[in-house]
Structure 1
Amino acid sequence: MNIFRKLKASLRLREAIKMADKAHQQTGHRYYVMPQHGSYGKKLVVMDRYNFRRLKMKHYIQREARVFDLVRECFYCTGYRDGNQSLSPEDRKKKVIQYFAWVEADRKATKQKRKAEKQKAETNGKI
């Protein structure tokens, strides 16, 4: 990954973590920093269980998704109200590596999608 992309991505993750921690201090709920697919690796969503369920109800998230999937796929999660199950430093490092891999994969997928759309538009214009 390009050093500038990595720096920008790390700043984006750091800001999302700050938002999650701030929301956790205000409400005491557990918050998750999740990816937003198709965003060219540029958007992260901070949500709690309540908002996760609302998004599932509105079919923005698949009905088969569970809270366990939130923990597995998130890039950061706060602890519960009593402080249990917060991320250890080793887990945080793994999640950061997971985040950088997601940014790169999402960037490549979006690039491929745009390229395919451009080729499709060119072929439709010639016919």
Structure 2
Amino acid sequence: MDAGKIISSLIVCDISVTIDENRIKNELMNRYNGVANVTRMFFDDEDETPKTSVQVDFTLPDVARQILRDRSIVIGGICRRVYPIKKSVYQQTFTRSQKNRQNTAGSINEQDLLNLFEEQKKTLAQIINSLDEKLNHAIKV
């Protein structure tokens, strides 16, 4: 096996979109062994809005497994929830890079479903805010 080959990946949640990927990677490299990449997740919308989730790739599976057992990873002095990237179970995948987003033939994994849920949650929040504003305006009139 290649020394630098990525063999484990985790999704880390609740990281402010203002925190840069390089800053996260540097902090994780100082705290954990085998950190290879940190990639910000993006909504699949026209603006490619960044999510509060990042994918962290590891070259050491034992480190990733220990983080999963702990159920969290420390970033910015705060424990963040982590999830494993599951094997594909559906029929379509989406690339995760900000500029190279495209649909490809393949499968959707559980993280893609979570991403879709987050997009729907964001849309519902916008609708609720809009209806709230209309209701407040109607009450004032």
Q: Shorter-chain-normalised TM-score: which range?
A: 0.3 to 0.5
Report the TM-score, using the length of structure 2 for normalisation: 0.36
Report the TM-score, using the length of structure 1 for normalisation: 0.39
Kindly indicate which of the two structures has a greater share of residues assigned to strand: 2
